[in-house]
Amino acid sequence: MSTSAVVMMILALTLVWGCLIASILFLRAKPLAHDTPYEDPDLVRDDETREHLPRPMRDT
């Protein structure tokens, strides 16, 4: 392999692995999941209201 190919390969590997490590560190610092699930009261009320309605029938 030529010198330029080796340099490009090293840059590409550094970029890929560096971004992977950065994303892991970011997710460890600020996880996406919360400890307590938040449910919107309006959505809960809509679900409870919709629970008592008859189910839609499909004529297939």
- The full DSSP string for 13-35 is HHHHHHHHHHHHHHHHHS-SS-S
Across the range 6-33, mean pLDDT stands at 93
In a domain, 41, yes or no: no
Q: Is residue 45 part of a domain?
A: no
Domain count across the chain = 1
Read off the pLDDT of residues 24-56 as tens digits, 9 standing for 90 and up: 999 999 877 766 677 888 988 998 998 888 888
Whole-angstrom Cα distance, residue 57 to residue 36? 36
pLDDT at 4: 96
The whole domain housing 15 covers: 1-32
Does residue 9 lie in a domain region?
A: yes
Q: Is residue 17 part of a domain?
A: yes
